[in-house]
Amino acid sequence: MLDTDYYELLQVSRDADEKTIKSAYRRLAMECHPDRNGGCRDSEAKFKAITEAYDCLKDPQKRAAYDRFGKAAFQNGGFGGAAQDFGSFSDIFENIFGEFMNGAHADRRGNVLRGSDLRYDLEITLEDAFSGKEVELQVDSTAACEPCGGSGAKPGTSARTCQMCGGRGQVRASQGFFVVERTCPSCRGVGEVIADPCPSCRGEGRVEKRKMLQVRVPAGVDEGTRIRLSGEGEAGVRGGPAGDLYIFVHVARHPLFQREGTTLFARCPVSFTTAALGGVIEVPGLDRTRHEIRIPAGIQSGKQIRQRGAGMPVLNGRGHGDMVIQVEVETPTRLSARQKELLEEFRATETGEECPESSSFFKKIKGFWEEVTG
């Protein structure tokens, strides 16, 4: 059976077209696969034979060599063996029907190579992140060649189907029972070759170009926010679709605020007299308004005061977060003689009730020493 003519094995005429050969192989492979015949050795042998025949006749170059020289064309390192590892029934099902389910194999135009995606790192201020900003970017990329319209062929000419892969963009190499499929080295997976390349792009269909883009950075963006510009990446090879441009936003450190989500945090030092007596301080917001923060009398260092709605805007949403002021009571370090005199007078009048936490702490220390000394 292994010496039977390939056309006879597939039960087709010698002038059968590719579609007829493919249909015949699909039918016979389904009938003869060993998984469907209880592992029958005869079925296994027949299956290998029809697979060998199909692997030869579906390839235009191999078929032409077979029609002229028969199986001798594949001996002594001609095109290599055609045997395949038949694998499981599900594997051969995928092999048989894969070309019908995958448009990239059925249509050689599907083999065009998509352009690469590009990355752009954009640094903005926290104020820009608060209000949003229109920025102009200068991006070095590639664009479709105008003289050839991105085809890569010299104007007035066109590409032709690659003879090595038959327009599929993939070639197969057999090693024993294993078949390796790789990108066609002649057309680089495109399925077409250019005999007369365009002098402007040297057959690539694209040229290097610097372009200016206007980008709207929305209010509320945070560190690491990614903005995608579809089709603004590199142009595809020989008319392939362009890639995308991804803009990664980086927010510069702010001298006053730290951000956590939509909440703004700020440390605010206040004098010990303001902390003791209370008062009002002004904090500039990112919205360029002055926010009055009321300090209650007797506030302690580390206490936080929340200003509702004065934080960052919600990205692609409504409303704002809060502003949180953390009070840090500052002890004076430079006192005039009169100020020292007034503080001495104040200390002379202290009863311990003015600072209850301090009084409680020292009472505990006194009790501890009394227990130790007995």
Find the distance separating the first CA and the last CA of the chain, reported in whole Å: 111
- Same domain for 294 and 369? no
Averaged pLDDT for residues 120-125:
94
pLDDT at residue 34 in the model: 67
Rounded Cα–Cα distance for residues 232 and 117 (Å): 8
For residue 279, tell me if it sits in a domain.
Answer: yes
For residue 87, tell me if it sits in a domain.
Answer: yes
For residue 250, tell me if it sits in a domain.
Answer: no
Q: Does the annotation place 355 within a ligand binding site?
A: no
Per-residue confidence band for 112, with pLDDT thresholds at 50, 70 and 90? low
- Same domain for 317 and 348? no
Domain that holds residue 293: 258-330
Q: Does the annotation place 145 within a ligand binding site?
A: yes
Averaged pLDDT for residues 187-194:
81
Q: Which of 101, 118, 143 is the last residue of a domain?
A: 101
Whole-number percent of the chain with pLDDT over 70: 84
- Same domain for 308 and 348? no
pTM over 0.85: no
Q: Provide the CATH number for the domain around residue 63.
A: 1.10.287.110
- Same domain for 322 and 368? no
Q: How many CA atoms lie within 13 A of 85 on its CB side?
A: 11
Q: Does the annotation place 184 within a ligand binding site?
A: yes
Q: Is the pLDDT of residue 374 over 50?
A: yes
236-292 tens-digit pLDDT:
877 788 999 999 999 999 999 999 999 999 999 999 999 999 999 999 999 888 999
Number of domain units in the chain: 3
Q: Is the pLDDT of residue 168 over 90?
A: no
Averaged pLDDT for residues 215-238:
91
For residue 76, tell me if it sits in a domain.
Answer: yes
Q: Which of 101, 125, 151 is the last residue of a domain?
A: 101
Is the distance from CB of 170 to CB of 181 less than 8 angstroms?
yes
For residue 97, tell me if it sits in a domain.
Answer: yes
For residue 367, tell me if it sits in a domain.
Answer: yes
Q: Is the pLDDT of residue 98 over 70?
A: no
Q: Does the annotation place 40 within a ligand binding site?
A: no
Q: Which of 5-9, 38-42, 71-75, 224-228 has the lowest mean pLDDT?
A: 71-75
For residue 252, tell me if it sits in a domain.
Answer: no
Per-residue confidence band for 108, with pLDDT thresholds at 50, 70 and 90? very low
For residue 81, tell me if it sits in a domain.
Answer: yes
Is the distance from CB of 141 to CB of 233 less than 8 angstroms?
yes
Rounded Cα–Cα distance for residues 104 and 165 (Å): 13
290-300 tens-digit pLDDT:
999 999 999 99
Which one is predicted more confidently, 314 or 77? Answer: 314
